A and B are shown apart, each in its own frame.
Chain A
Amino acid sequence: MADPAYSALRKILLDEITPVVMVLPTPLVEERCQKNGLSFVQMLTPFCVFNNIDVPVRTASDQPYRLQKFKLRMFYASDVRQQNVEVTKERLKQVITDAGNNEDSDLYLDPSPIETIPISSQPDFIPTWFQFFNKELVRSVSFSDHEAFDHPVACLLVVSSNDKDPINKFVELFNMNQLPPLLNDGAMDPKIPKVFVLVHDNQDGSPERATKILAEMRNTFGANDCRLLCINSLQDEALDHEPNPWEFYMPNASPDQHLGRLLNKEDVDELKDFARDLSSKDIIPNMEQRIRVLNQQVSATRKGFRNQIKNLWWRKGKEDAPENQSVNMYTFSSIESQIRVLGDYAFMLRDYELALSNYRLLSTDYKLDKAWKRYAGVQEMMGLTYFMLNQSKKDAEYCMENAFTTYLRIGTSGKGNATRCGLWWVEMLKASGQYKEAAGVYFRISGEEPLHSAVMLEQASYCYLLAKPIMLRKYGFHLILSGDLYKKCDQIKHAIRAYRNALSVFKGTTWSHIRDHVHFHIGQWYAFLGRFDVAMKHMLEIVACSHQSKPMQELFMKNFFQILQKTGKTYKISRLQLPIVNINSLNIVSEDHRTYGSPAAVSVKESIWQSLEEEMVPSLTNAKTTWLDLQSKLLPNKLKQSNVCVAGEALKVEIAFKNPLQLSIPIYSVTLMCEYSPNETIPDANNSSVDQSIEDEKTTSDTSLFTLSEVDITLTGGETTLAQLSVTPRKEGRLKVTGVSWKLSDSMVGFYAFEPDLIKKRISKGRRKAKQNTNKLEFLVIKSLPRLEGIINNLPSTVYTGNLQRLSLELRNSSEIPVKNLKMKISHPRFLNIGNPDKSDVNFPSCLEKEKTPSQKDADLDTTKKSDTIFHFPEDTIIHKETPFVLPLWFRAATPGNVSLYLTIYYEVEDKSTAMRYRTLRTHHILEVLPSLDVSFNISPCPSRLQEYIVRMDVINKGLKSLKLRQLSSVGSEWQISLIESIQDIIPSGNLASGQSLSCFLKLKNAKTTETATDVWLGRIGSEAVFDTQRAPLVNFHHYEQLHPKTSRKEQEQEHQSTVDFMLISEMEETENQPPQIFSHHACHCSVATKRPIWWLLEGPRIIHYNMADPFCETKLKMTLHNSSTFSASVRINTFDSPPGSSSSGNKVGWHDMTSPPIEIRVPPPESVKAVALESVPPFIWTGLSTTHVKLEPNSTTEIGLLVTTFAPGTYDLSNYTLHWNLVGCDDVREKEGVCGGHPFYLTILREE
């Protein structure tokens, strides 16, 4: 480390521990000196510092040495006393306050960054007044009686030459009553060397009188001790000393005081010589002599073995005495005081070895005497002496610590001394580079007095900064502590400085609690000082204090707004953190040729729309060339790529605001910031672009270029709100969205500039058409175009499945230019169907009813026949301004669940000159479909009829409301359907309540005739109003149901004949007066086909009366065979004469036989079956061929005649035959061939009476 010779402490000690000269002037002397604006002491002070005095000194040893630097401290006798504590306090406070005010200028500058501080390792950043303050602190405890270096070594008696009777004046001056207490109470020897000075003012006249007096003085007081000092040689004209020697010592003097203005060069030289002579000829020799005398005494009484023993014994004896530590215990004549004087004199004359040995001697004495204050004082001096000797650092520190703790131990009287000792100790540690330890000592110095503590803590913090390794956090912490203490003492400026320095530590760290605290307090204090602009700077830092507790946030916000209000300025803050803008949520919707009916439609994927539109819209590349070809004449090539929006149409922007706080914050006037530039200036748009962001209000009001929407939002705590903003360009040109701005209050505007790069990156990642979006925020505004708006009236949001409703689509065109050539496509034709535009006012639902006369089919029935699903509006449809076009729509909720319906309408613009030839309107509708009826059908062939089926219909109401069944229809004209039993028997109320199920049986018959009863009325009797299932819209919806793969159970390759479609129509009466809600449920492709390809039916008379004249009776029977398969079949019928073998199923009766599918074919061969006794014991025989073989073409029917002969009356079961079939060319093993036993056929023969 630095050589202690040059250390600060050495300088301090050489400055502070120097001989004191007591000055006793007459009032006239002072008056003369004040002509120069100086007191006598002040006048002399600059010349009492000698850098090169070069005086030989010989103390105790015989070896003389030369003193180079020397200093005298001049004090008036009245000042040579301990100061009043209160006065000292006030003075120190004044020092601090002054320092604070002096710092005013740089208080508002930005603090230097912490990184640069350690480099300039010298403490130039540390406030300079610390040294001054420390000096003052040290001086406040001077002139104590327990130490001798403050005791005056000489006394100057100063009398003016104008004084009357100067000799007597000299005697009067050294009046015991006015002497300082040190001399009076015996702490020091009153026999102090005196120097008699006569001051002559040259303005008072010639120096003759003065020389006369001087001669008189010399006679009276001795020649050596008398001096003459002539001043004020200049007559009236002022002289400015350059450099002024007094300025340094009187920093408070204003320059126009002209310090020493009447002193010419000779006067100054005389002063110099006077001081020099005083020290080298009087003071130093005196001290030398004193040292030698004292040293002799001390050696005589204390040195040597004998003296030590004696001393020890003597002190031991004293121990018994009560500890009456009276002040006068050690008078100047006591040996202890003398040793102390000896040590201090030696110290002041730099004979440190001598000083140290005496201090050592003294320290044990005082310790034994328990004179703690004196002990501490001696320890302190020992420490300093060790330091000055530059040896044994450890001893020096030990002594200082010992002194420090001892001072502290003795209580309040030692406090000031402890502080002084501590400060010296700190300097000692600093000198050896132990900054950390120094900081610790500073910390210990700081006592109860908050202001002193604040200064000490601040000094401690700077020590941490200088420590190696640097301890930044402790630096910050101590600064904060000191700042708080400053604040306590109303030293706001100091508090701000401390906090601001601390801020450099906490800035950029994540210790946000502390950082907020610091910013908040700095802000408040600046506001207290009236510097609201600076305060605001700090308050802005704590605005987004999301991590703080709610009361804290409230406090912060309250203060923030208070200060903001007082500032009286309008702030425009980029990226204000309240609220936080979520840039990722930025979504800009512009409408070019694609327009959207609702915000929901915007969020739908582009691919969905494209797939819907691809057939309607002229193909993409084609479209592009067409309208861009047109434009290429008007617009520069560069623009082709940019986004397009239409003048007069709003550009919608969505952006999310997040409130980081737990409080709710209202924000006002949320609006977009945009720039507009006319079209022509695009290549170099920058210079002439009209910046129309909101900062200049003049252009904002100008609505000719574009209009902005303003939104007010209240964000509750922690909430994220999506703000919907819009800008509407008015003229062609280029529009650029540059950002979003909002007002937190009237004078706090936050804005967020969108960075094009950021957004571009996001887009290219997210969307594939990034190439087009070179700059998503820039838009080409083109001429105003017509824009269709479409709504579907009365579209319900919640419906039950199957509900059929009549809606209407209303299209409006607000532009003057009409549109034409409309086309529409619906994404889900199962749900929406287009009605006949001609019949716009029909009565629903009665329009569905069957007309009495068979009407011609409606025109809109054709939609089912069309291969594509694009609806072309009638050719002549042109939508003009203010004449809405209404298109009837049929709606049927086909499937339960959440359904999104997409509608896109294509239209062309009549005006050919516009940039866009066509546009599309995209609408999106979401509805929820609840389940209602669940219908299922099971068809089984009727065993007793050919081409007839039994249908079991199971209906369950899964909805929440009861439904009334209305009718069941088979769609088409081929199937005749009829009830087997009355519906009233099954469900008398006709209402199907929620959760209720119903099963009923119906008969189904394939009828080829045109007039077939395809409908069955299930409702109340008497109110039959059967709906025509052949007409729109039912048939249309049915068509789409058929097409839908889920409902069609079989593949389309199935024969039309073998499947049947059902439509169940029901109604729900919601309110009394309203027409009921109509529901239709469709079941498509219910197969009637069975696994058995061959059908047969045995027909013939059942009861025959015959007279028994003939021995037997022949009955003719007819068997109808039907081949339902697609293959030609060969069928063989075998008859047996043995009684029919009943299979297990043979015993069963009734419809069970029919329902159990007649598929299980492999009847056991009849031969093996045991005959079952029937009533008809006599057998019958099949006459005719026992085996008949026929060939059947696919789907053909043939009849075979059979003959049975009976011999007796009775009832016979004619089921003893089997059918064998073989399909030709069929691959299905199960269907290829099979055998089946006969159906039961009972023939009763009755005897004819």
Chain B
Amino acid sequence: MIVCIAVVGHQNNPLYIQSFTEADDALKLHHIVHCSLDVVDERVNNPKKSGPMINETFLGLLYPTENYKVYGYLTNTKVKFILVTTDLDVRDADVRNFFRRFHSAYLDAVSNPFHVPGKKITSKTFAERVSTIVKSVSFNTAG
């Protein structure tokens, strides 16, 4: 299950954080997302030598915590998408696909002329679309 999805601006400021759990763990997820930015920075500054990683937006598994797995995605404008999931057995391709869909939703949201770049995304349409994407995605290979 996807627990949390976040958009973080290029100055590491949160643009959008949405948790999809019933529990009151927003703060914890904030921390996890915030913390994972360190890993993103590390990944970006020391890219792996392997060839296909160049121009790759998908950053892969950032770090596994006790109960979660955190995935990252970096757009060309240095906006980061962070995904926190409780599924432990996840295929990279699924996550990649999820991020691609999320990215297009994000693009539509920031293309709104009333959106101020660098400010929080408040669009309701975006929120709805994200929640449909999240609901439609299931990382469980069994499912």
> Residues of A at under 8 Å CB distance from B?
464, 469, 471-474, 476-477, 480, 509-511, 513-514, 517
Contacts and interface: CB of A to CB of B under 8 A. Distances in A.
A477 B34 CA distance: 8
Contacts of A513: 17, 26-27, 30
Main SS of chain A's interface residues? Answer: helix
Interface in B33-65: 34-35, 37-38, 41-42, 45
B12 A471 contact: no
B14 interface: yes
A503 to B, nearest CB: 14
Given A469-B45, A471-B42, A509-B12, A514 B35 contact: no
A509 B33 CA distance: 14
B65 to A, nearest CB: 10
B97 interface: no
Interface in B57-101: none
B13 interface: yes
A473 B38 contact: yes
B124 interface: no
Interface of B: 12-14, 17, 26-27, 30-31, 34-35, 37-38, 41-42, 45
A511 B35 contact: no
B42 A511 contact: no
Contacts of A509: 12-13
Main SS of chain B's interface residues? Answer: helix
Contact of B31 (A471, A472, A477): A477
A469 B14 contact: no
Contact of A473 (B27, B35, B45): B35
Contacts of A477: 31, 34-35
A511 B30 contact: yes
Nearest to B27: A517
B82 to A, nearest CB: 12
A660 to B, nearest CB: 15
B26 A474 contact: no
A510 B42 contact: no
Nearest to A505: B34
A469 B17 CA distance: 26
Given A477-B34, A477-B35, A511-B34, 17 more contacts: A469-B45, A471-B38, A471-B41, A474-B35, A474-B38, A476-B35, A477-B31, A509-B12, A509-B13, A510-B13, A511-B13, A513-B26, A513-B30, A514-B27, A514-B30, A514-B34, A517-B27
A354 B37 CA distance: 47
A474 B33 CA distance: 11
A469 B41 contact: yes
A510 B13 CA distance: 6
A474 B42 CA distance: 12
B31 A480 contact: yes
Contacts of A476: 34-35
A593 B17 CA distance: 57
B14 A510 contact: yes
Contacts of B35: 473-474, 476-477
A476 B45 CA distance: 21
A474 B12 CA distance: 14
12 contacts: A469-B42, A473-B38, A476-B34, A476-B35, A477-B31, A480-B31, A509-B12, A511-B14, A511-B34, A513-B27, A514-B27, A517-B27
5 cross-chain pairs, A with B, having the tightest CB-CB distances, nearest first: A510-B13, A477-B35, A471-B38, A473-B38, A513-B30
A476 B31 CA distance: 9
A514 B31 CA distance: 7
A480 B32 CA distance: 12
Contacts of B26: 513
A446 to B, nearest CB: 12
A237 to B, nearest CB: 63
Given A513-B27, A514-B27, A473 B14 contact: no
A473 B34 CA distance: 7
A564 B118 CA distance: 36
A510 B120 CA distance: 10
A517 to B, nearest CB: 5
Nearest to A512: B14
A473 B42 CA distance: 12
A476 B12 CA distance: 15
A695 B42 CA distance: 53
B30 A473 contact: no
Contacts of B14: 510-511
Contacts of B31: 477, 480, 514
B80 to A, nearest CB: 12
Nearest to B29: A513
Nearest to A475: B38
B143 to A, nearest CB: 32
Nearest to A478: B35
A464 B42 CA distance: 12
A514 B34 CA distance: 9
Contacts of B30: 511, 513-514
A473 B13 contact: no
A472 B31 CA distance: 12
A482 to B, nearest CB: 13
A477 B14 CA distance: 16
A616 B27 CA distance: 68
Contacts of B42: 469, 471
Contacts of B27: 513-514, 517
Contacts of B12: 509
